[in-house]
Structure 1
Amino acid sequence: MRIRALIALLLAFAFVLLPHAPSGAQDTQTRTITFATLAPPGSLIMRGLDAWNREIRRRTEGSLQLRFYSGGVQGDEPEVIRKIRSGRLDAGGVTSTGLAQIHRPALVFQLPGTFLRYEQVEAARAALAPEIEQGMIGQGFRMLGWADVGSAHLFSNREIHTPTDLSASRFWVRSDDVILPVLFDFVRSNPVSLSVPEVLGGLQTGRIDTFLAPPAVAVALQWSAHATHMGDTAVAILVGGSVISERTFQSLTPAQQQVLTETGAQFHGLARRNASRAEQESIDAMVRRGMQITRATPADVTAWRAVGRQVRDRVASRIADPALVARAAAFGEQ
């Protein structure tokens, strides 16, 4: 009896020492999604992403969160997409360059010489995005929300009114860009291919002196400090959004998937609604610092749109089925 009592006592003592999972520990364990972006720390984009993350944590009671790698520390967008494909990252915020690495028809929302107002892009996206998103799922990615990166303006160190004025420019072309290099089939210039993280250095050394960018991006990445002139007319509206690996998305619980989807739509929609205001605030800030605005005449606008249509006709077959391109382009005529 004494031996049995001693064994029972030892077993009970060992049981007390064993690490015990508290009730519901699996439910409170936090799942972290790694998310890469070129947006600099402290920028308006990062503040929006941080707010999105707080809402995800709140609605999942801390069981799901995003971990951001900002400022391009994970590489330019093609590298980020490769890392998501290989499982080294879960998600990312990308522009059309990154979207084209996933599913090239996403570029129909950024056809050159087509969309000059946010309302046109929004209408095209409302009609065509479900079809585009299904194609992205087929490539192993899921769209969490569409963004308007901003209307692209021409920045330079001289007045540029028409495409022919670009002949003396050292024009930045983004590495892996599908559309912009075609411009130089029709316009004389000196294009220089650089990744986004290389642009600031290229401007500082004079390797490039002309670039297309949304004003808010030019300010956030400090590019605008190396330009003296900005065209007042948008050449195109740049689009993008947040994507996640379909594999990662399917590994979440149904409740987590719902929260991620709903909050993604909510916060990206808010960002799109605020894009125009943020753009104007950036332009005002640049003007206060001495930026000169080049005013386009109606003839200038006509010249840019004509070249844009030439580029569109040349690249359309590389982007998507001609019928899809035509459907998207129709919204730019409204």
Structure 2
Amino acid sequence: MRNKYNMISKSFFCIHVLTLVFLATAFTAGASYAQEAKYNLKLATLAPKGIGWAMEWENTLKPGIIKASNDEIAFKTYYGGIMGDEEDYIKKMRIRQLDAGAITGQGAVMACPELTVVELPFLFNNYDEVDFVRDKMYPVFDSYAQDHGFKLVYWFEQDFDQCYSMKYPLETMKDFQKARFVAWYGPLEKKFLDSLGASPVPVNGPEVPSALRQGIVDTVIAPSVWVVGSQTYTLFTHVNTLKVRYAPGLLVIASKTWDQLPPGHQKRIEATRSTSLRDFINNTRDANAKSLQAILKYGVKESQMSPAVREELKKRAMTSWDKASGEDFPEDVLDQIMELLEEFREGRS
């Protein structure tokens, strides 16, 4: 049995630094109060104030928007879930209690259900495919989001997610079938877990760390930066580093708020995608890579899955595509993405 106290003594510094740099250890209350401006927008996010994705918002995305508006836009940012969970954000934006939300993959598919398609298991093989599809499909999903009452200002990401388990090596199909998985991403995630014969347990997003510590669940699909920031890395014994799904994130503004901004501001804000958004995405990917290395250095073991089991898992997981297509997202959206992926892969080959 692993001696965690020895592992802590060897790796505490690495984990501690990453926790400070990438995410907070808990959802902490607080708001960033905007100075006087012509357009004062209220934005909510689950990200804790001061570090991690919140820092990228403060240092990269927000300054880009403010500059694009000639300092006429300011934000009051509610961090750490003090305005509720992402379902609450969606509801509050609809009734104008909030103007904007920086949301995870769960909230993304609430604001734009058609975007569920990009979370299909094993849809993308790498970042290059993601970037190609994002650039091509941005107008499509922006149009869908506006149909639901939101402007898709930025489509960023959580990154590719991995499977972390407190009990099982996650090296065989039986390991997956014995695990009690956190299920908080919506219908597609449940279909995916059902296709594996796993046991999905519904848990509200902010309650996931508590559910893990209480033993209500023992396995989670998550980005490594979340595992470090939530300090749940101390609970896990194994990580399967297979990139089971891509998880988007969004910055959305309520359409009624967006429509009140001058057209010039709107165009300049959209133009920042080529600079501010790219920096945000690159920093997120770097943070996740470093977090995963820190988790492995701490002593969480990397699962060793045979090629045969890997192919069986993928084959089973992809049966969820047919069940979700036409139900969780329009069939033609998946067709468009598959055509783009075929184009990209043929070009690469």
Which TM-score band applies after superposition, normalised by the shorter structure?
A: 0.7 to 0.9
Name the counterpart of 1:38. 46
Give the TM-score normalised by structure 2.
0.81
Unmatched tracts of structure 2, length 5 or more: 1-35
Question: Does the alignment pair 1:149 with 2:158?
Answer: yes
- Contact 1:55–1:263 (Cα < 8 Å) also in 2: yes
Question: Where does residue 246 of structure 2 map in the other structure?
Answer: 237
Give the drift of 1:242.
0.5
Quote the Cα distance in structure 1 between the aligned partners of 2:188 and 2:197.
16
Please, what is the CA RMSD of the aligned residues?
Answer: 2.1
Q: Deviations over 1:156-180 (max 9, x none)?
A: 0220024432222121000x61211
Matched with 1:168 is 178
Aligned to 1:18: none
- Normalized against structure 1, the TM-score is what? 0.85
1:212 matched to 2:221? The reply is: yes
CA displacement at 1:193 relative to structure 2: 0.5
What displacement does 1:145 show?
Answer: 0.8
In 2, the alpha carbon distance for the partners of 1:29 and 1:187 equals: 52
Contact 2:225 2:287 in 1 (8 A): yes
Does the CA-based 8 Å contact 1:102-1:141 persist in structure 2? yes
Q: Counterpart of 1:22? A: none
Matched ranges for 1:49-60 at <5 A = 49-51=57-59, 52-58=61-67, 60=69
Task: From the superposition, tell whether residues 325 and 101 of structure 1 become closer, same or farther in structure 2 (CA, over 3 Å).
Answer: same
Q: Deviations over 1:139-195 (max 9, x none)?
A: 211011111211110000220024432222121000x61211113433333321111
Q: Which has the larger radius of gyration?
A: 1
Q: Does the residue aligned with 1:232 lie in a helix, a strand or coil?
A: strand
Question: Is contact 2:42-2:98 (8 Å) kept?
Answer: yes
For 2:188, give the aligned amino acid: I
Contact persistence 1:40–1:220 (CA under 8 A)? no
Aligned to 1:9: none
Q: Does 1:114 align with 2:113?
A: no
Give 1:61 shift. Answer: 5.1
- Aligned 8 A contact 1:153 1:212 in 2: yes
8 Å contact from structure 1 (residues 110, 238) kept in 2: yes
Runs of 4+ in 1 over 6 A off after TM superposition: none
Amino acid at match of 2:49: P
Distance 1:170-1:33 versus aligned 2 partners, 3 A rule: same
Residues 309-318 or 261-270, more deviating: 261-270
Is 1:314 aligned to residue 323 of structure 2? yes
Partner-residue secondary structure (3-state), 1:251: coil
Distance 1:53 1:327, change over 3 A: closer
Residue 191 of structure 2 is matched in structure 1 by 182
Residue of structure 2 in register with 1:270 after alignment: 279
What is the CA deviation profile of residues 28-84 of structure 1, one whole-angstrom value per residue up to 9, with x for unaligned ones? 744221111111223321111001323444554542112211112222212211111
**Among 48, 52, 56, which residue is 2:56 paired with?**
48
The alignment-based identity, stated in percent, is 24
Specify the SS of the correspondent of 1:160.
coil
Match for residue 309 of structure 2 among 292, 300, 303:
300
Distance 1:163 1:79, change over 3 A: farther
8 Å CA contact 1:164–1:187 kept in 2: the answer is no
SS, match of residue 208 in structure 1: coil
Q: Is the 8 A contact 1:153 1:215 kept in 2?
A: yes
SS at match of 2:123: coil
